[in-house]
Amino acid sequence: MKRIVVTGASGQIGSELVPHLRRIYGAEAVLATDLRPLKGLLAEGGPSASLDVRDGKAFSDLVGAFRADTIIHLAGILSARGEGDFALAWDVNVNGSITALEVAREREAALFFPSSIAAFGPATPPTGTPQDTIQRPTTVYGVAKVSLELLCDYFHLKFGVDTRGLRFPGLISHEAPPGGGTTDYAVHIYHEAVERGRYTSFIAAGTFLDMMYMPDALDAVVGLMEADPSRLIHRNAFNVSAMSLDPEGIAAAIGTILPHFVLDYDVDPLRQAIARSWPDSLDCSAAREEWGFAPRYDLKTMTEDMISRLRARKRKALTA
């Protein structure tokens, strides 16, 4: 990766991936784009542009003018939001992503596509979920992810496009808020713990889901995109995860630092049903073997880092 266009750059992942890529490849080598206005570091730290990924001509023109060799395609509508608006979720997640594939093909760029644990469904083995297994998701978000996993394989086989991708678990981070997903509770719980000392979870006690801390997700994107292609047997949709967590497990880890933290529940049936249809713990051996996936953070180290960063931000806001 030398010259990179990032779509959906204002979101939870893009807000941290764009500065990370700019540190590695140089500020001028990373063009941040989004439908929403780009703010702060995204706009000031390097080139940026407005882009609706469903506009094929604008997308292709931007990639061509920037002389990009890589597209990191993050634009999307997340699981819970998607269940509320089928047409929008399909249009952005399927049509917008096919547009990204077509632009990559036309401009001879590599394409990173972020799939998700949402690509699995209730018939999937929930623990030790294999890399290659039954999928059959029950959300429009998941159906779109499976479709794109297959289309990314197809564009590689048929047209030689250098497509690569990960199946992300729920990502926990402190920089930008999550965008309407089911795993969002695992981000909100830290913010609320530091702000208010308590959190009401919309996901029920005992519901385990795969999770990963954002720095490991950023390293995984770069690690996969820089991997020797001759070692990639799967290429797209690699299972990646660092921990399997339920709300009480996170609360217990927070409680070691904030002993008065209180967790209670007001379960949202929609997001709980989605969570129950997803696996508990992925088998990530293909990612480890084919390109050296090695997450650094566990629940303890992630919790220490999240709380210390959120506390520092709170102190700064109070003194500003």
Active site residues: 141
Q: Which residues lie across from 163 on neighbouring strands? A: 111
Question: Among the candidate windows 58-66, 180-188, 190-198, 252-260, which touches ligand AKB by CB under 6 A?
Answer: 180-188
Subset of residues 106 to 125 that bind ligand AKB, contact rule: CB under 6 A: 116-118
**Interface with ligand NAD, residue 7, by CB under 6 A:** yes
Query: CB count, 10 Å around CB of 289?
Result: 13
Burial class (CB within 10 angstroms; exposed 0-12, middle 13-18, buried 19+) of 6: buried
- Measured between alpha carbons, how far is 21 from 1 in angstroms, rounded to an integer? 9
**Interface with ligand AKB, residue 135, by CB under 6 A:** no
Task: Report yes or no: 46 and 27 within 8 Å, Cβ to Cβ.
Answer: yes
Q: Which residues lie across from 200 on neighbouring strands? A: 264
**Interface with ligand NAD, residue 278, by CB under 6 A:** no
What would the x/- binding string for ligand NAD be over residues 43 to 82, using CB under 6 A? --------xxxx-------------------xxx-x----
Own/partner pairs, 176-179, CB within 8 angstroms, 24+ separation = 176/10, 176/11, 176/12, 176/14, 176/15, 176/16, 177/12, 178/12, 178/78, 179/11, 179/12, 179/77, 179/78, 179/81
- Measured between alpha carbons, how far is 95 from 80 in angstroms, rounded to an integer? 19
Q: Which amino acid is at 245?
A: L
Write the DSSP assignment of 197-239 as a string of letters: SEEEESS-TT--EEEEEHHHHHHHHHHHHTS-GGG-SS-S-EE
| Beta carbon of residue 10, minimum distance to ligand AKB (angstroms, whole number) | 16
What would the x/- binding string for ligand AKB be over residues 65 to 84, using CB under 6 A? -------------xx-----
Using alpha carbons only, give the angle 113, 119, 120 rounded to the nearest 5 degrees: 150
| Beta carbon of residue 93, minimum distance to ligand AKB (angstroms, whole number) | 11
What would the x/- binding string for ligand NAD be over residues 156 to 195, using CB under 6 A? ------------x-xx------xx-x-x------------
Phi, psi dihedrals of residue 319, rounded to the nearest 5°: -90, -10
| Beta carbon of residue 66, minimum distance to ligand NAD (angstroms, whole number) | 16
**Interface with ligand NAD, residue 279, by CB under 6 A:** no
**Interface with ligand NAD, residue 96, by CB under 6 A:** yes
| Beta carbon of residue 20, minimum distance to ligand NAD (angstroms, whole number) | 13
DSSP conformation class of 314: H
**Interface with ligand AKB, residue 170, by CB under 6 A:** yes
| Beta carbon of residue 8, minimum distance to ligand AKB (angstroms, whole number) | 13
List interacting residues with ligand AKB (CB under 6 A).
Answer: 78-79, 116-118, 170, 181-183
Residues that bind ligand NAD (CB under 6 A): 7-8, 10-14, 34-36, 51-54, 74-76, 78, 92, 96, 114, 116, 168, 170-171, 178-179, 181, 183
